[in-house]
Amino acid sequence: MESVTLKVVLFGASFLTLLAIQRYLEYSRLVQLMRAPSHSTTLLSQRSMIGLLTARGIPGVTRGRYTSWLNKHRSYAEEGWDAAVHVNIWPLGASVSLVDAAAIKEVTSARARFPKPVKQYNTLSFFGENIVASEGEKWKRYRKITAPNFNDRNNKLIWDETIRIMLDLFNNVWGSQENVILDHTISITLPIALFVLSVAAFGQRISWKDDNTTPPNHRMTFKDALHEVSSNVMIKAFVPDWALGLTTHFRRIRLAYKELNTHMLEMIAQRRNAEKKEEREDILTNLLDASADDPTFTDEEVMGNIFVFLIAGHETTAHTLCFTFALLALYPDEQEKLFQHIKSILPDGRIPTYEEMPLFTQSMAVLNETLRMYTPGHAIPKYSAEDTRLTISNAAGDKHDLILPQGTPVVIDAVGLHYNPRYWKDPEEFKPARFLNPDWPRDAFFPFSAGPRACLGRKFFETEGTAVLTMMISRYKIEIKEEPQFASETFAEKSARVLASKPGITMTPLRVPLVFKRR
C-alpha cells in the first residue's frame, strides 16, 4: 500500500514538474517575442479575482486595483522606460501599460489596430446597449445619434441650470449663515452634479428642498431612484442578481434600478406621444429626435445611452469638484488668485453668463489641474487586434519597438501619464498656472481619453465645473475645518488626510471637511 501511495506521489510531483517546465518555456518565449527592455512578473493577472479584490496588490502574486494610483510614475522611472510590460503566469499572458504621450497618441488614433475591449463594459448595459459598451458599426451608429446631443444649446442649458442650482443652495439652504461647516464636502457636490444631470439629461428640475412625494404607481421618486442608481453602480455591476435580495441596502438598490427604468420609459412614452412637441434641449429629447430617422433605435437603447451619460457625469463631476474645493482650501494663495480673476471679470458681483464662460480661464485652469492630479479614470483599456509593434521611449530620448502579439491588453495609465515629469514639471504640486501656458502638453492630458472615442461629455463637465467654481469662489472663501485631534499635524499630513481617497468607478474622496465662509 505504501509503495502505491509513493508511486502516486512521485507521479503527481513529476506531472507538476513537467507542467512547471512547460509553463516556464512558454513564459520565456513570450518575453523574448515581445522584446521588452524590461518586464515584471506576477503569478496571477490583475484581472483575477484576487487582483480585483485587492487594492494594493500582493508582491509577486498580483497587482491590485490601486496599483497605478499608488505608483503614479515611480515604477516607470525605476524601469527607465515610459511603458511597462507585465507578464502573468496563470493564465499565461502579458499586458502593456503606457505613460508615453506619443505611444498613447498612436494607440488612440489607430482604432482598428487598438480597439476597445467592449466585453469589459458589458456590466454598464443594465438598461440597454450603449455607446460605451459597443465597437465597430454599432458604435458608429450610436455615435451618429448621440454626438449631436452635446451641442451649444445644451451647454447653455447646463450653464443656466448650474447657476440656478448654486443660487438655490446659497439662498435657500445656506441662507444667512456666515460660516457653513461641512464634515464631508461630497454632501453638496453629489447633489449639485445630480441636479444638473437631471435637468440636462432628462429635463427634470430638482431643487434642494424638493417635495419628496412619491408619484402614483411608484415606490420611489425620480430623484431618489436617480441618486441610488448613480451612487451604487459598482454594487449593481459586481453583486449577482440573486444576492441583491440579501440585505436592506441591496434591496433598495434593486428597487431603484426598477423604478428608474419605469420613470424613464414613462418619460419616453410621454414625449413620443405628446400632441404638441415642447421645445426642450435636454439629452433625452435630443436623443429621441435624433433617433426618429432610425426606427430600429429602441427605447432600451435610448435608456442605455442615457444611463452611461448619467454614470459618466455624476460621480466623476461630484468627486472632481470635491477635490477641487479641497485643493483650494489647502492652497489659499491659489484660491485668492482665482477670486481676484473672477472679480476682474465680475467687479459688480453680477451673475456670469454662458457667453462669458471663455473668460474664466483661471477657473478652467484650476479644474484641469485637479483633473490632472485626481483623474477620474485610472486606466483606459485597449488591446492589439493583430500582431503589431509599438514604439516606446524614455526621458533620455531613446526609442524601442515593442512587439505585441494579437490580443495583448494595452492600458493607458492616465495617472502615470499625469505624473510623468517629462511633461509636467513638479507633478506632485498643485499648479493651475501650468494650464495658462498656451503650450501646455495636451497630448499628455487624458482625463477624457482621446481620439475618436474621446468622452463626448467633456464640454458638459467644463461648463458645469466652471459655473460651479466661479459661483462658489465669488461668494465664499474655503478653509479646512479645524479639528482638535489634528491641531499638530504638518501640511503634508493635513494634505494626505484631506485628499485621501479610495478606488471606485472614479477616485472617491474619503472625507473632505471644509468651512465655507461668506465673503
> How many domains does the structure of the chain reveal?
2
Report the relative pairing of strands 388-393 and 39-44 from DSSP bridges: unpaired
Residue 315 makes CB contacts below 8 A (sequence gap 6+) with: 190, 193, 230, 231, 233, 504, 505, 506, 508
Handedness of CA 333, 334, 339, 345 (dihedral sign): positive
Amino acid at 376: P
Q: So what's the pLDDT on residue 489?
A: 95
Q: So what's the pLDDT on residue 402?
A: 94
- The kind and range of the H/E element at 458 are helix 458-475
Judged on CB neighbours under 10 Å (0-12, 13-18, 19+), 252 is: middle
Say yes or no: 27 and 165 in one domain.
no
Q: Please say whether the beta carbons of 408 and 143 come within 8 A.
A: no
- The answer to whether the pTM exceeds 0.95 is no
Q: So what's the pLDDT on residue 264?
A: 86
Q: What is the dihedral of CA 176, 181, 184, 190, to 10 degrees?
A: 10
Residue 25 lies in a domain: yes
Reduced to 3 states (helix: H, G, I; strand: E, B; else coil), residue 104 is helix
Residue 359 lies in a domain: no
What separation in angstroms does the CA of 320 have from each of 248, 313, 406, 433, 465? 30, 11, 36, 18, 9
Residue 160 lies in a domain: yes
What separation in angstroms does the CA of 53 have from each of 41, 71, 504? 19, 18, 11
Closest CA relative to residue 340, chosen from 241, 176, 498, 477: 477
Reduced to 3 states (helix: H, G, I; strand: E, B; else coil), residue 202 is helix
Closest CA relative to residue 198, chosen from 232, 242, 229: 229
Q: Is 455 annotated as a binding residue?
A: yes
Residue 378 lies in a domain: no
Q: So what's the pLDDT on residue 279?
A: 64
- Return the beta strands (E) in 174-275 as ranges: 179-182
Say yes or no: 341 and 208 in one domain.
yes
Residue 140 lies in a domain: no
What separation in angstroms does the CA of 63 have from each of 67, 91, 371? 6, 14, 24
**Mean pLDDT for each consecutive 10-residue tract of the chain (519 residues)?**
69 77 82 88 82 79 84 92 92 92 94 88 81 86 84 90 96 95 96 90 83 84 84 81 89 91 86 70 81 81 85 87 98 98 94 96 98 90 95 93 94 96 96 96 92 85 97 98 94 96 82 97
Domain assignment of residue 207, given as a range:
154-345+454-518
Distance between CA 288 and CA 264 in Å, rounded?
12
Residues 290-308 pLDDT 10s: 777 777 888 888 888 888 8
Closest CA relative to residue 449, chosen from 381, 386, 358: 381
Distance between CA 358 and CA 467 in Å, rounded?
11
Enumerate long-range contacts of 422-431, CB under 8 Å, 24 or more apart: 422/82, 422/101, 422/395, 423/101, 424/372, 427/72, 427/73, 430/327, 430/330, 430/331, 430/334, 430/369, 430/373, 431/369
Distance between CA 103 and CA 105 in Å, rounded?
5
Distance between CA 303 and CA 41 in Å, rounded?
42
Distance between CA 402 and CA 499 in Å, rounded?
37
Q: Please say whether the beta carbons of 394 and 82 come within 8 A.
A: yes
Residue 92 lies in a domain: no
Residue 111 lies in a domain: no
Residue 404 makes CB contacts below 8 A (sequence gap 6+) with: 34, 96, 384, 387, 388, 389, 390, 410
What separation in angstroms does the CA of 79 have from each of 170, 287, 381, 444? 51, 48, 22, 20
Q: Please say whether the beta carbons of 445 and 485 come within 8 A.
A: no
Complete DSSP assignment for 156-197: HHHHHHHHHHHHHIIIIIITT-SEEEESSTHHHHHHHHHHHH
Q: What CATH number did the domain enclosing 333 receive? A: 1.10.630.10
Say yes or no: 159 and 28 in one domain.
no
Q: What are phi and psi of 189, to 5 degrees?
A: -75, -35
Say yes or no: 17 and 164 in one domain.
no
What separation in angstroms does the CA of 428 have from each of 73, 367, 374, 408, 449? 11, 16, 11, 31, 21
Residue 474 lies in a domain: yes
